Structure 1
Amino acid sequence: MAEQVARVSTPYEEETLPPSPTLEAAEDVAADIGQLSVWRLMWRRFLRNRLAVAGSILLILLYILVIFADFFAPYDHLKVNEDYVLRAPQRLRFFDEEGNFHLRPFVYGTTTELDTHDLVWVHKDDPSQIYPIRFFVHGKPYKLLGLFETDIHLYGVDEPGTIFLLGTDRLGRDVFSRILFGGRVSLSVGLIGVTLTIIFGSILGTVSGYFGGIVDTVMQRIIELLMSFPDIALWAALAAALPHDMSTVTRFFFISIILSFIGWTGLARQVRAKVLAYREMDYTNAARAAGASHTRIILVHMLPNALSHIIVVATLAIPGMILAETALSFLGLGIQPPMVSWGTLLQDAQTVSVVVKNPWLMIPGAFVIVAVLCFNFVGDGFRDAADPFAI
C-alpha cells in the first residue's frame, strides 16, 4: 500500500525573494548608458580620469592668463628698467621685520649695492620701505581683447615702489609679464600647428587608405621620406630659410606651418590604417552599392568614424608643437624679438653661471613643463575615453 506522505511547505518555498537593489541599480545604469550617444559616453569616461580633469582646469587657467595678459601683467613686457637689472623676485609679505601683521599684502622697497667681487649691482629688500599691493590699479593703457580701451591692471603698487613677483631679466624687464605675453605665442603655436596637422593628416591619410593602389604607394613613400629626416635639423633648416626682415606676425605663422609640415605624417599613417578597416565594412559597401560618391563616403562614413582617434592624436601632438617652438626659439631660429615666447625667454638662461646666480630666469621652463604635462594628461584622458573596450 502506497503511503501518502504529506508535503510540508517551508517558508522558503512560500516566500519569493525580493529583487536585489544592486541588480536593479545596475540595470538602471545600463539602460541609461544605452540611451547615451558615443560623445556623451566619452565625456563620462573622461570625467572619471582625475588627472585629465585637473590638466584641463590648469590649461583653462593658463589660457585665461595669456589671453588677458594685458590685464594680469603689472607692467609692459617690453618696458626696460635699467635701475632694476636682474632684480630677484620680490616676496609677498604679511608680517614686517618687527613682526607686525598687515591686512593688505605688501612688498619691500629695493636698495642697490655694488658687489666688489663680481663688479655687479646687487638689489636687496629694504625693510624701511613698505608698499602695499593694490588691486585694479591704473597703468599703461591697452585694448582688452583688441577691442576695449582701458588702463586697469589686476594689481600693482604705488610709485616709486615696484612689484616683480618673478624678478627681472638682464634688461630690467618684468619676468612675470613676459611669461604671460610669451605664453600667447607658445600656446597658440601648438593650436595652430595641430589644426594644420589635422587638416593635412586626416585628409591625406583618408585618401591614401580609401583609394589604395598607386595613390597609396606614392603618399606612403612621401610620408616615409619626410619621417626619415631628423626633426630638429629639418626645423632649423626651414626656419633659417625664412627672411630676416620678415615681420614678427608673418614669421609666427610660418613657424606654425613649418611645425605642421612635419607633424602631419604620423597622423596620416594612423588614419590610413583606420580607413583600410572601414572601407571593408558592410555600411561602406552598402553606400557604394547605393551609388554614393567617393566624396560622400569619405566625409560621411570614413572621417566621422575616425574623428575620435584624430582628436586623441591631435591632443597628444600639441605638447610636441610647444616643445618644438621652444627649441627653435631657444636656438634663435624661431620667434625673433621684439616678439616674445617661452623659448626666447629661456635664451637668457643658456649658461650655467647665469642659472646659478639668477635661477629665476629658468621659471619660463617651468611653465613649459606644466603646459606639456597638462596636454599629455588631457590626451591620455581622451585616449582612454575613446577606447570602445573601456569599462
Structure 2
Amino acid sequence: MNTALSSKRHYVDPAPFDPGRTEPVGAESESFYRASSWQLMWWKFRRHKVAVAAAFVLLAFYLLVPFVEVVAPYNQTKRHGDFLYAPPQAIHLMHEGRFVGPFTYPYTYSFDLESFRRVYTPDRSKPQPIRFLCRGDAYQFWGMWEMNVHLVCPPEDGTMFLLGTDRLGRDLLSRIIYGARISLTIGIVGIAVSFALGLFFGGLAGYLGGWVDHVIQRMIEILRSLPELPLWLALSAALPANWSPILVFFGITIILGLLDWPGLARAVRSKLLSLREEDFVKAAELMGASKQRIIARHLIPNFMSHLIASATLSIPSMILGETALSFLGLGLRPPVTSWGVLLNEAQNLAAVQLHPWLLFPMVPVVIVVLAFNFMGDGLRDAADPYH
C-alpha cells in the first residue's frame, strides 16, 4: 500500500489539464487546484461548442459596429429614384461560360398597368463587376472625418442591391448594416443601467436585510406585477416628440434598463443572503471594513461570473424591446436607423406580400438573440460550480 501511494505521489502527467475529464490527476491536478475561478469558468465554457460558436458570431457582429460606414456599400440615406422597391440582385461569377468574378446584371424596369407595379428584369448581356476596397459614397467616419473608402462598392455606373431596396429606393443591406450600430449598442448600454441598479438595490437588500430588504422587495414586486409591454409603450409615448434622435436613444435605453433590473436584483440578494454569513465576511467586519467595502470588494466578486451570465441572458430582451417599440412607432424614429425602425416599414401586410424582402431586417435580430441565448447558456453552465 505504501508503494502504491509513493508511486502515485511521484506520478507526473505531462499532458495539460483537460476540462473534459472529471478527475484531474498528477500535474494537471495541481493546475486544477491552483486555477482561479475565471480559469475554471473558461475551461468549462470551452467545452460548450455551441456557446463558443455563438460567441464568435457575436464577436463578428460587434466588430462590425465601429466600421459600419466602411462595410456598407451605400450611404444609408442615399436614394435611387429609378429603383423603388427593387428586388434583391443576385451575385454571379460566370458569364456565358467565362469566369468574370463577382458581378451583377443591371436592372431594366417597366411599369405594369394592371398591377400598378414596377417590374424589374435583369439585363444578362451586361455583366457589371463588383469593386473591392474602392471609393464610393462619402460619409462622416465616427462623425469626425470625411471619408469615402468602402470595403465593397457597386459596379461603375451600376447597382448592387443584394437585399433589395425600400419605398424610397434606399439599399436595404446598407441600412441593416447601419442599423446594427444602434440595435447592438442599445442592448449593451441598457444592460449597464440595469446592472448598476440591480447590484445597488440587490446588494442593499441582501446584506442589510430587515426593513431595507422589505422595502426593496415590495418595490420589485410592484414593478414585476405591471404588464411589461404596455408599460414600455406608456413610457416611450411620454418622451417629448421634439427630442433629438440622440436623446430619444438614451431615453429608450434608460427605460429598458429601469424595467429590467428587478430580476438581477433578486439574484444578487439571494447570493448575498447566503454569503454574508461566511467566515471571510465576519473577518472583514471584525477588521472594521465598511458595509460598502464588504459588498463591493468581498461579496460581489465571489459571484461575478453568475452576474455576467445573467447579464448576457438579459441583453436579448433589451434588443427585442427596442425592436418592438420601434416597430410600433414608439421607439427610435427616423432619421435614426435601427433594425426595429427598418421593420416598421413591414407593418403593412400588403407591402410585405408584394415586397417580402422588407422582412430581411428580422434575420439579424433572430441571429443575435439566438447567439446571446446560446452563449448565455454556456456561461451559466460554466459559472455553476455544481455543473
Give the structure-1-normalised TM-score.
0.91
Q: Which residue of 1 aligns with 2:138?
A: 141
Distance 1:284 1:182, change over 3 A: same
Write out aligned runs for 1:1-391 (5 A): 24=13, 26-96=25-95, 98-102=96-100, 104-390=101-387
Report the secondary structure of 1:124's partner residue.
Answer: strand
Measured in 2, the distance between the counterparts of 1:329 and 1:148 equals 29
Measured in 1, the distance between the counterparts of 2:173 and 2:156 equals 19
Q: State the Cα RMSD in Å.
A: 1.9
Deviation, 1:353, is: 2.6
Instruction: Give the aligned residue type for 1:44.
Output: W
Report the secondary structure of 2:126's partner residue.
Answer: strand
Q: Which deviates more from structure 2 when the two are superposed, residues 288-297 or residues 262-271?
A: 288-297
Report the secondary structure of 2:352's partner residue.
Answer: helix
Instruction: Give the aligned residue type for 2:116.
Output: L
Q: Which residue of 2 aligns with 1:8?
A: none
Measured in 1, the distance between the counterparts of 2:166 and 2:130 equals 22
How many residue pairs align between the two structures? 372
Measured in 2, the distance between the counterparts of 1:235 and 1:312 equals 25
Deviation, 1:360, is: 1.2
Report the secondary structure of 1:141's partner residue.
Answer: strand
| Identity among equivalent pairs (%) | 46
Residues 355 and 361, structure 1, Cα contact 8 Å, conserved in 2: yes
Deviation, 1:177, is: 0.6
Measured in 2, the distance between the counterparts of 1:344 and 1:143 equals 21
Measured in 1, the distance between the counterparts of 2:8 and 2:204 equals 54
Measured in 2, the distance between the counterparts of 1:247 and 1:321 equals 21
Deviation, 1:148, is: 4.4
Residues 109 and 128, structure 1, Cα contact 8 Å, conserved in 2: no
Instruction: Give the aligned residue type for 1:69.
Output: V
Distance 1:299 1:121, change over 3 A: same
Measured in 2, the distance between the counterparts of 1:342 and 1:260 equals 19
Instruction: Give the aligned residue type for 1:100.
Output: R
1:303-360 Cα shifts (integer Å, max 9, x gaps): 1112111111100000000000000000000001110110111112123332232121
Q: Which residue of 1 aligns with 2:18?
A: none
1:143-173 Cα shifts (integer Å, max 9, x gaps): 4344544211111234421011111011100
Residues 73 and 154, structure 2, Cα contact 8 Å, conserved in 1: no
Measured in 2, the distance between the counterparts of 1:153 and 1:77 equals 13
Deviation, 1:67, is: 2.1
Q: Which runs of 5+ in 1 are unaligned?
A: 1-17
Residues 202 and 310, structure 1, Cα contact 8 Å, conserved in 2: no
Measured in 1, the distance between the counterparts of 2:273 and 2:79 equals 58
Q: Which residue of 1 aligns with 2:22?
A: none
Deviation, 1:209, is: 1.0
Deviation, 1:23, is: 8.9
1:182-204 Cα shifts (integer Å, max 9, x gaps): 11111001000000111000111
Instruction: Give the aligned residue type for 1:269.
Output: R
Distance 1:163 1:113, change over 3 A: same
Residues 88 and 167, structure 1, Cα contact 8 Å, conserved in 2: yes
Report the secondary structure of 2:343's partner residue.
Answer: helix
Deviation, 1:290, is: 2.2
Q: Which residue of 1 aligns with 2:4?
A: none
Measured in 2, the distance between the counterparts of 1:353 and 1:126 equals 28
Measured in 2, the distance between the counterparts of 1:165 and 1:158 equals 13
Deviation, 1:277, is: 0.6
Measured in 1, the distance between the counterparts of 2:359 and 2:11 equals 55
Q: Based on CA coordinates, which of the two structures has the bigger radius of gyration?
A: 1
Distance 1:22 1:81, change over 3 A: farther
Measured in 2, the distance between the counterparts of 1:34 and 1:287 equals 25
Residues 306 and 384, structure 2, Cα contact 8 Å, conserved in 1: no
